[in-house]
Amino acid sequence: MKLIYTDVLVIGGGLAGMRTAIGVKRRGLDTLVLSLVPAKRSHSVAAQGGMQASLANCVKAAGDNEDIHFQDTVRGSDWGCDQQVARMFTHMAPKAVRELAAWGVPWNRVRKGEHEVVINGQRVTLTAPAKAHGLITARDFGGTKKWRTCYTSDGTGHAMLYTLGDQAVAASIPVEERKEAMALIHDQGRCYGAVVRDLISGELSAYLAKATVMATGGYGRIYGVSTNAIINEGIGQALALETGVARLANMEAVQFHPTAIVPAGILVTEGCRGDGGLLRDKDGHRFMPDYEPDKKELASRDVVSRRMAEHMRKGKGVASPYGDHLWLDITVLGEAHINKNLREVKDICQYFLGIDPSKEWIPVRPTQHYSMGGIRTDYRGESPWLSGLFACGEVACWDMHGFNRLGGNSVAETVVSGMLVSEYIADFCQKPENDLTVSTHLAAEFLQRETDKLKRLFTSSGDENAVAIRKRMEQILMEKVGLFRNGEHLREAVEELQQLLIRSRQISVASQAQGANPELVLAYRLPRMLKIAIGIALGALQRTESRGAHYREDHPERNDRDWLNRTLCHWNSEDDTLPVLDYEPLDVNTMELPPGFRGYGTKNIIEHPATEARQTQVDRITEAAPSDLNEQLMPFRHLLPEKYRGDNERLEDSNP
Amino acid sequence: MKRTLNFNIFRYNPQDPASHPHMEAYTLQETAGMTLFIALNQIRELQAPSLAFDFVCRAGVCGSCSMLINGRPRLACRTLTESLPDTITLLPLPTFELIADLSVNSGKWMRAMSERLETWVHSVEETDLDRIELPMDPDLAEHIYELDRCIECGCCVTACGTAQMREDFIGAVGINKIARFKADPRDQRNDQDYYAVVGDDDGVFGCMSLLGCQDVCPKELSLQTQIAYIRRKMAFAGL
Amino acid sequence: MKMMITKHPSAWPARFDLMQSATGLFLALFMWLHMFFVSSILLGKDAMWTVARFFEGYFFFGTNFPLLVSGFVALIFSLIIIHSALALRKFPANWKQYSRFWQHMRSMRHADTTLWLVQVVTGFIMFFLASVHLYVMLSRPELIGPYASADRVWSLRMWPLYLLLLFAVELHGAVGLYRLAIKWGWFDRGDPQSTRRRLKTAKWIMSIFFLVLGLATLAAYIKIGIDHSANVGELYTPSWMEVQQ
């Protein structure tokens, strides 16, 4: 039996995992990172457009601050988020950008003097003041009041991940590549690490740690078409679910990005629209202003995606062998801008579509993109049910995105949560009661269980084909748990997905290779994916309202009265085919921003009975304008690690 | 135009005692817009469930899927089959440790390169995260990003005659990294420090200017220019 | 963000690299000049005689000092030895390296890669052939002249050596200069790839020009050598001296 001990076991080598590992290492803990693929190839690398932080350096960001970023985020979430966490996040985002700037990310910078931009289809000249010259600039993104998205061309995730990856090398943090977590080792509500499979040799070993961190990203790949990297199969969430103890939250909150190319489903960044790109229908008509006169193409993603689908349903889509699509027109931005700031977009168009986006329109349609839901954690990133299990980044439901995430908030979340959670983990590990007291017997037991499972797959006489089951699962989610949902389809989806889960227990593996064996990998991952799929479908079925990305045609209203809550999901027994759902209420009385109209999308709300009173209370406090307004409305600073509590300086502060 | 594509794919799983290195043939009907990502997945789904290959982003940004496609290293995910003849030969990148079939351990190589060249911003000051960031010239920031765009796919190393012969050669990827950090004022290393990591025949002086790297780089990085630049600087630093 | 521990690397790799380039540059340019000198035979025997005596200092001192040529040949010889020794660092060192490069070259079908093997092969040829020529020049510098050289080419059967050497030198030199320009980034302003294309074209033009010139020159010596084969050993007297006598 191979046992490996460390203080902090980080599962996942993307931005969130890397920043967490660096954080705990700096606090003097021993850590190691497991990654399915070479860490720099993680899905974070594909983030293009940027990272939101209210630095307020560029002309169109003037006056921006944490408050506005917070409000945008809460509105974007359709009031489904944890407002305290959103507050912590918006407070930390500028620090995260500045830290990355010091570590080497070549953020694009403000250039003093006049420069031309495209706003609302028009060329406009802006003049940047000399004092802002060389500070980190930002671009416009959907659902935001200010230009807040810091970027490096359209390779922001790449630049960030490479910088963090390099810093991890500098800190001598071991990154074990091509290692897959197979099960969490836990006992009586305490997580002790994971059983890990070496994807090259096939060897199983037990990694024991004081704290285990899931940072494995989203579950886009259980959908047939997704912008996600193909490794994003929801395995991290599934491993937590399979403990039977930890809970997932808001699994039904699945984001569809408005602009993925057809048919490949590869994302072209929201920066295209942020920089002035337009959406057009089959007649070349710019239709978004018809639906969203205020924010137009730059409403939140859930709204733009839905409007696009709505428009295509009216017969305004462009017919293609791969189904209808619409056009994204960035020709208005000009070749020079595209060559400099949207070069990945240009590459994608060139290689996958054979077009030049500075001359031709890009065929796009809404495509699965992001999972707001995930492993439910408290503000410290720890599972309230399974001590020692932490999660951050997309895998987690921390929960700053609620039912819809704003563009540029996910890469920001990865590093911010990594910064914070690593501190909380270090605090956790330094408490004597959290010392590692696991018995090797427990580790052996879990190891044996996984060994047996694999053996069963090799020797099974079952006749089910994993590929066929997977394809059907993908199809069900695409057709019945997509952008528009209804009770009937969701019921069918839950029903059939359960059948698939039962069938998946009869999968056998022909290839007997112990090491690299893609057939085996699919066989053991598929039941996990199905559990996640069922969690999504069941959550969506039961949530009889529409909130953010979760849209029920049979319940189009946002129902704060009955559904201002978070769906929790756990899986009782290995033999079950359904998870158990319960609900965690969101407390209107503690909200800094009580529920209201988002300012875009359709206004169709059933009010929560407490909203009005809380709004009056908030208004009264705000009007009095006390110096500690935040503290009176909704205190959050005390939750932050001490070193991160300071105010963020801005240009306007330094030069009054 | 519907073609039948003939694939010759290298098969070998070193972990499987029954396996021996050989080429295996598969045929596939070409479809419109088919990439090697689509083709290889179809082969795996319908003909060879154990066929190992690496794709992650499948969008040309992560650098996982480089392989020898009809002899030259390229990213498979963004190679359209229509750009290839009827017969397509796929081999794993020869420079890196073979995992199985078309999958190689380029990550391990890249990590070793990073450790050797210390590819990170070396700085001793702690940053006060509450304060406004230090300004940087916008052109300089863009220049650094230009050099930072490398995706560590390994194509340049495979296309390099020197790297083929000398296993310790750091390749264009490594030299470009040095150019990237040298351009970055946040990295406080001086030319002597860079010389310490690339100033020998396993470093920049090992380069024989065959330019395979320049001609295959999927990100079209200015490798030729960067290598020449680092060579000039390091030659000067060495004197 | 730790600071690097300062290492104390050797300066020799940098020096070697510069020396290889510098000797290569000098030799390649010299070979072009050399070809012009040798090809003076195409302008007539007198022209060639004049060039040969010029380098023996005849026009400065009024008498011949063949040792001057010996000295210069010695310098060139040593540069070649240095250049070869440095170039050897780059040669494939064993069968594995040869076979890997060979496979790589066949797989890539990439002109600049293939040209490198040309460099290796021509360089290897020159080790031997150039040494023979240089030794003769070193030991009998006074025998450079229209007849003596032609006799050497024809009657002493050196022409096959010179023919091979001609191809080796003109390919090796031009490819070498092209590679030097790439290696150090000369003429690299603006668009390096178009510079490279232009350099490559220039490289081919130079190779072909000097091959044609070299073949014509060799032919001229062969012709003189055949005509003079009955009088091997006789030295040439320029026409104007004959007139004076």
Catalytic residue among A91, A273, A369, A558: A273
- Domain holding C108, by residue range, is 21-231
Residues 6+ apart with CB under 8 A from B26: B6, B7, B9, B43, B47, B48
C2 interaction partners in chain A (CB closer than 8 Å) = 170-171
Is the pLDDT at C244 greater than 90? The verdict is no
Query: Residues 6 or more apart from C44 whose CB is under 8 A from it?
Result: none
Whether B230 contacts chain C with CB within 8 A? no
**Residue B202 touches partner C, C-beta closer than 8 Å:** no
Is A470 noted as a catalytic residue in this protein?
no
Confidence category of residue B17, pLDDT binned at 50, 70, 90? confident
Tell me the nearest-neighbour CA distance from A499 into chain B, angstroms: 22
**Of B24, B2, B27, the residue nearest B12 (C-alpha):** B24
Amino acid found at A375: I
Q: Give the separation between CA A230 and CA B55, rounded to whole angstroms.
A: 7
Question: Taking residues A74-98, what's their average pLDDT?
Answer: 97
Least confident of A285-299, A570-584, C227-241: C227-241
**Residue A216 pLDDT level (bands cut at 50, 70, 90):** very high
- In this complex, is the C-beta atom of B17 within 8 Å of any C-beta atom belonging to chain A? no
The verdict on residue C6 lying in a domain is no
Pinpoint the residues of chain B covered by CATH 1.10.1060.10: 118-237
Question: What is the pLDDT at residue A491?
Answer: 98
- Report the CATH number of the B118-237 domain: 1.10.1060.10
The string of DSSP codes covering chain C is -PPPPPP---SHHHHHHHHHHHHHHHHHHHHHHHHHHHGGGGG-HHHHHHHHHHHTTHHHHSS--HHHHHHHHHHHHHHHHHHHHHHHTTS--SHHHHHHHHHHHHHH--HHHHHHHHHHHHHHHHHHHHHHHHHHHHH-GGG-SHHHHHHHHHTT--HHHHHHHHHHHHHHHHHHHHHHHHHHTTT-SS-HHHHHHHHHHHHHHHHHHHHHHHHHHHHHHHHHHHHTGGGTTPPP--HHHHHH-
Q: Which tokens in the block code for residue A644?
A: 């991160």
H or E element at residue A519: helix A518-542
If one counts the domains in chain C, the total is 1
ipTM of predicted complex: 0.97
* Burial readout C110-125 (b: 16 or more C-beta within 10 A, e: otherwise): bebbebbbebbebbbb
Distances (CA, A) of A38 to B59, B78, C57: 16, 20, 69
- Tell me the shortest Cα–Cα distance from C2 to chain A, in angstroms: 7
Q: Which residue on chain B is closest to C89 by alpha carbon?
A: B201
> Domain for residue C15, yes or no?
no
CB B148 within 8 A of CB A114: no
Q: Known catalytic residue: A337?
A: no
A210-247 residues labelled b (16+ CB within 10 A) or e (exposed): bbbbbbbbbbbbbbbbbbbbbbbbbbbbbbbbbbbbbb
Per-residue pLDDT at C1: 43
Identify whether C245 is part of a domain.
no
The one catalytic residue in A19, A257, A401, A528 is A257
**A637-652 tens-digit pLDDT:** 999 999 999 999 999 8
Sign of the CA dihedral C211, C212, C217, C223?
Answer: positive
Q: Measure Cα distances from A607 to A80, A567, B117 in Å.
A: 14, 19, 60
Q: Identify the H or E element spanning B60.
A: none
**Residue A513: pLDDT above 90?**
no
Q: Each residue of C176-213: pLDDT tens digit?
A: 999 999 999 998 877 899 999 999 999 999 999 999 99
| pLDDT, tens only, A271-286 | 999 999 999 999 999 9
C46/B contact by beta carbon, under 8 A: no
Enumerate residues 73 to 112 of chain B having a beta carbon within 8 A of any beta carbon in chain C.
94
B58 touches chain A (CB under 8 A): yes
Contact B222 C192 (CB under 8 A): yes
Q: Do residues A483 and A256 make contact, with C-beta atoms less than 8 angstroms apart?
A: yes
> In the predicted model, what is the mean pLDDT of residues A507-530?
94
Is the CB of C185 less than 8 angstroms away from the CB of B201? no
> What is chain A's mean pLDDT, rounded?
95
pLDDT of res. C59 = 86
Q: Which residue reads 């590819």 in tokens? A: B119
How does strand A580-585 pair with strand B66-69?
unpaired
Give the residue-averaged pLDDT of A217-244: 97
Q: Spell A316-350 as b/e; 16+ CB within 10 A means b.
A: bbbeeeeebbbbbbbbebeeebbeebbbbbbbbbe
CA distance C90 to chain B (A): 8
Residue A564 reports pLDDT greater than 70:
yes
**C13 assigned to some structural domain:** no
On whether residue C176 sits in a domain, the answer given is yes
- Residues of chain A contacting C1 with CB distance shorter than 8 Å: 103, 167, 170
Per-residue pLDDT reduced to its tens digit, A111-141: 999 999 999 989 999 999 999 999 999 999 9
Domain assignment present for C211:
yes
A170 to chain C nearest CA, in Å? 6
CATH class of B4-104: alpha beta
CB contact under 8 A, C116 and B210: yes
Can you name the residues that pair with A109 across neighbouring β-strands? A136
Q: What is the pLDDT of residue C8?
A: 75
* Helix %, strand %, coil % of chain B (to 5): 40, 15, 45
Residues of chain B with CATH 3.10.20.30: 4-104
pLDDT tens digit sequence for B139-151: 999 999 999 999 9
- Are A519 and A510 within 8 A, CB to CB? yes
A76 contacts A406 by C-beta, under 8 angstroms: yes
Q: What percent of chain A has pLDDT over 70?
A: 100
Q: What is the CATH number of the domain that holds C132?
A: 1.20.1300.10
With contact defined as beta carbons under 8 Å apart, do A629 and A621 qualify?
A: yes
What is the rounded average pLDDT of the residues A327-344? 94
Q: Using the structure block, give the residue that is written with the tokens 């060192």.
A: C93
Q: Using one digit for the tens of pLDDT, what is the confidence trace for A34-81?
A: 999 999 999 999 999 899 999 999 999 999 999 999 999 999 999 999
In a domain, C101, yes or no: yes
- Does C57 reside within a domain? yes
User: How large a percentage of chain C has pLDDT more than 90?
Assistant: 81
Q: Which chains touch A (3 or more CB pairs under 8 A)?
A: B, C
Contact A109 B137 (CB under 8 A): yes
**A220 confidence band (pLDDT: 50, 70, 90):** very high
- Looking at residue A351, the DSSP 8-state letter turns out to be I
Angle between helices A487-504 and A466-480 (to 10 degrees): 170
The neighbours of chain C, by the rule of 3 or more Cβ pairs under 8 Å, are A, B
